[in-house]
């Protein structure tokens, strides 16, 4: 018997498609159970065709909140009553709180990422950051780095226009952070990486089916005092992180980000800290 499933149990969940592979139900339900909080988390298939109906259903069921994933992170915006300034800058929501009949949209991806650095003693304020990748995750990370006081963010992306779009948004809202967009090419990477304190990979290179690829081709491109962070969490050690280790760099994978973005959502819904060490042990046993 689950003593925390009662007549007062509140619904949370995930709206996306596909959702059957998601780690979020296991993560949140394990945390609710551990703390004996009266919440449950379920995954719901939601896409462009039925998102509106499902959001209305979440209101009607008095769900406490929900996560939103692909393909709904942008499409959810017009269905909400309020959106935080960070989520508005990112242009995407991954967490919704249902409070007093209002749906409030947050984006915890960037905050989760910065938290994953902070837990390792790395502050981003005042740092020069080189970011490869300007998709959804890259955009969330870039905005949060700027919000948290990064001095400079150089963004490289295969499709340069997406890097430019993020830089425009940051420049308008946080002018104290210097931003510069480039295409993703080896010459620019080689130049820019010498100047950076932290290098972040937010491209899909290194993740299935690109496990044999890395944005950095060889260890001699990397100064040994650089912190190298890859948002990818499967595999835990990407080709980039292996190359960075050979160069003597400190490396950080994406496991902290996935946990902390969930922990931020958990806190928004419950007001309680997620038992992060316990959840890490379950999701990524050593
Ligand atoms: P996305 O929106 O699809 O963006 C993909 C990014 O990868 C874009 O910058 C894209 O460049 C780039 N890219 C894809 N194929 C490439 C190639 N062959 N060469 C160069 N660049 C390429 O995906 P996303 O959600 O931002 O995810 C990006 C990465 O972050 C993924 O590896 C994902 O696993 C990771 N991630 C981790 C977490 C976490 O919690 N740890 C959360 C979200 C994402 P273009 O813009 O030119 O297409």
pLDDT tens across 62-71, in order?
A: 999 999 999 9
- Asked whether the predicted pLDDT for residue 1 surpasses 60, the reply is no
* 10-107+257-283: CATH topology: Rossmann fold (3.40.50)
User: For ligand 1, is residue 97 a contact (CB within 6 Å)?
Assistant: no
pLDDT at position 200 is 98
**Residue 8 annotated as catalytic:** no
- Asked whether the predicted pLDDT for residue 98 surpasses 60, the reply is yes
What is the overall mean pLDDT for the chain? 96
Among 8, 10, 56, 73, the one annotated catalytic: 73
Best residue for ligand 1 mutational test, from 182, 203, 264 (most atoms within 8 Å of Cβ): 203
Looking only at the bridges linking them, the beta strands covering 102-106 and 95-99 are: antiparallel
pLDDT at position 249 is 98
For residue 282, give the nearest of 12, 28, 41 by alpha carbon: 28
Which residues make up the CATH 3.40.50.10860 domain(s) of the chain?
10-107+257-283
- Asked whether the predicted pLDDT for residue 2 surpasses 80, the reply is no
DSSP assignment letter at 31: H
Query: What integer is the mean pLDDT of 125-143?
Result: 98
Cα 204 to Cα 81, 177, 215, distances in angstroms: 33, 26, 10
Regarding pTM above 0.85, the answer is: yes
For residue 25, give the nearest of 237, 265, 272 by alpha carbon: 265
Give alpha helix (H) positions in 14-159: 24-35, 51-60, 85-90, 109-118, 136-147
pLDDT at position 3 is 62
pLDDT at position 217 is 93
Give one DSSP letter per residue of 125-174, joined into a string: TT-EEEEE--SHHHHHHHHHHHHTT-SEEEEEESSHHHHHHHHHHHHHH-
User: For ligand 1, is residue 91 a contact (CB within 6 Å)?
Assistant: no
% pLDDT > 70, the chain: 99
pLDDT at position 5 is 82
The 10s digit of each residue's pLDDT in 40-49 is 999 999 999 9
User: For ligand 1, is residue 184 a contact (CB within 6 Å)?
Assistant: yes
Tell me yes or no: is domain 111-253 CATH 2.60.40.420: no
Q: Report the separation in Å between the CA atom of 168 and the middle of ligand 1, taken as the mean of its atom positions.
A: 20
The 10s digit of each residue's pLDDT in 245-278 is 999 999 999 999 999 999 999 999 999 999 999 9
Higher-pLDDT residue of 60, 6: 60
In the numeric block, which tokens belong to residue 150?
Answer: 């990064």
Do you find a cis peptide bond into 46, omega within 30 degrees of 0?
Answer: no
Which residues make up the CATH 3.40.50.720 domain(s) of the chain?
111-253
pLDDT at position 139 is 98
């Amino acid at each position: 018997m689950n003593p925390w499933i009662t007549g007062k149990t509140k619904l949370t969940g995930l709206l996306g498609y596909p959702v059957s592979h998601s780690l979020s139900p296991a993560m949140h339900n394990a945390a609710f159970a551990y703390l004996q909080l009266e919440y449950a988390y379920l995954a719901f298939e939601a896409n462009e065709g039925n998102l509106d109906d499902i959001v209305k259903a979440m209101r009607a069921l008095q769900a406490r909140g929900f996560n939103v994933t692909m393909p709904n992170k942008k499409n959810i915006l017009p269905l909400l009553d309020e959106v935080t300034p960070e989520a508005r800058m990112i242009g995407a929501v991954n967490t919704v709180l249902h409070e007093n009949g209002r749906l409030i949209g947050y984006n915890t991806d960037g905050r989760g990422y910065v938290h994953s650095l902070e837990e390792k003693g790395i502050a981003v304020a005042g740092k020069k950051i080189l970011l490869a990748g300007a998709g959804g995750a890259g955009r969330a990370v870039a905005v949060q780095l700027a919000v948290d006081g990064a001095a400079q963010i150089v963004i490289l992306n295969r499709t340069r226009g997406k890097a430019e779009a993020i830089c425009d948004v940051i420049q308008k809202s946080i002018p104290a952070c210097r931003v510069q967009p480039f295409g993703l090419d080896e010459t620019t990477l080689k130049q820019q990486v010498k100047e950076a304190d932290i290098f972040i990979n937010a491209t899909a290179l290194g993740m299935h089916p690109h496990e044999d690829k890395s944005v950095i081709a060889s260890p001699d491109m990397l100064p040994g005092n650089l912190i190298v962070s890859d948002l990818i969490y499967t595999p835990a050690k990407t080709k980039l992180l292996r190359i960075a280790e050979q160069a003597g760099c400190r490396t950080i994978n994406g496991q902290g980000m996935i946990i902390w973005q969930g922990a931020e959502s958990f806190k928004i819904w419950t007001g309680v800290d997620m038992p992060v060490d316990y959840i890490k042990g379950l999701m990524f046993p050593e």
